[in-house]
Amino acid sequence: MAAKEHDNDWPGRMTALSHNFTRALCRRPGPDLAAGITNAGMGVPDFNLACEQFEKYVALLGECGLDVSVLEALEGFPDAHFVEDTAVVTPDVAVITHPGAPARQGEQHTIAKAMTEHRTLAKIESPGTLDGGDILMIGTHFLIGVSDRTNEEGARQLGAILESHGNTWQPVPVGAGLHFKSSVNLVGPGTLLVTETFAGRRELADFKQIIVPPEEEYAANTLLINGRLIMPTGYPETRARLEELGQPITELDTSEFRRMDGGLTCLSLRF
């Protein structure tokens, strides 16, 4: 699968990149939350506690300066609150995905309707499959995880759309974890937070890497918003390593979403 390579100035240019968001789109979890797809083996989520955690998440996005729109729960789609998987939103276009799990195909249609007022739309078409949780935007460069949910055809289609708007992209095989961003996330200019599985991978060679301890792998799903890091509660060694970046850090409890294989990045579309 061919990717558009970044230019020769990329290593220096990426250190100046920033993620400045003004809006976010979220969806409330529904009472059928526990019927969603999960391989976590951590028991049934507490719906009321999940709602409390969701409200704190939305409030924190607001504290980061985002104008947050919240959609109501989508009946019949117990994973629909993981809205990140339904679109890839860039400054130029919102690419509506074709989710890799058949049970989730259909969620994206309501997200497309919500995004029409903000972006021109493009779509991933079958036989391509693509989940937003596999896509890491770093300025104008995109890392596209090829996983159980995002196939090579989906990655190729997204890459072509991105190229048409002047972006570059790189496919990254995902051998472990549900999504690429379960294991790799941007935490500062030119800096990635990665699990040991991805440490030293050639696709990530241009980046400084902070490695998450094996016993704290869930903390790799840390979210950078406008210079502020939001990380899951209870991972002290990862926090200590992130503190060396000198950025404000807020911890947030996502225990009930972790039971459903979800995390901080999954719960919103930031743009």
CATH code where residue 38 lies: 3.75.10.10
In a domain, 123, yes or no: yes
Q: Grade residue 175 by pLDDT with cuts at 50, 70 and 90.
A: confident
Residue 1 domain-assigned (yes or no): no
Residue 27 has pLDDT above 50, yes or no: yes
Residue 173 lies in a domain: yes
- Position 10 in a domain: no
Q: Which two tokens stand for residue 130?
A: 């693509």
175 SS3 class: coil
- The pLDDT value given to residue 241: 98
CB neighbours of residue 196 within 10 Å = 14
Mean predicted confidence (pLDDT) in 76-91: 98
Q: Is 192 helix (H, G, I), strand (E, B) or coil?
A: strand
Residues shown for the chain: 271
| Per-residue pLDDT at 8 exceeds 50 | no
Annotated catalytic residue 26: no
Checking if the pLDDT of 236 tops 60, the result is yes
One-character DSSP codes across 98-137: --SSGGGTTHHHHHHHHHTTTSEEEE--TT----GGGEEE
Q: Is 219's pLDDT higher than 80?
A: yes
Could you tell me if residue 61 is inside a domain? yes
**Residue 161, domain extent:** 17-270
Q: How many helices (H) and strands (E) does the chain have?
A: 6, 15
How many domains are contained in the chain? 1
pLDDT surpasses 70 at 129:
yes
Which one is catalytic: 26, 51, 64, 266? 266
221 alpha-carbon distance from chain centroid: 8
Any domain includes 2: no
pTM of the model: 0.94
The answer to whether position 8 is within a domain reads: no
Residue 6 among the catalytic residues:
no
pLDDT for 13 equals 46
In angstroms, the CA 162 to CA 56 distance is: 33
Q: Is the pLDDT of residue 164 over 90?
A: yes
- Exactly one of 6, 98, 141, 179 is catalytic; name it: 179
Which percentage of the chain shows pLDDT scores above 70?
A: 93
Q: What is the C-alpha to C-alpha distance for residues 36 and 170, in angstroms, rounded to an integer?
A: 30
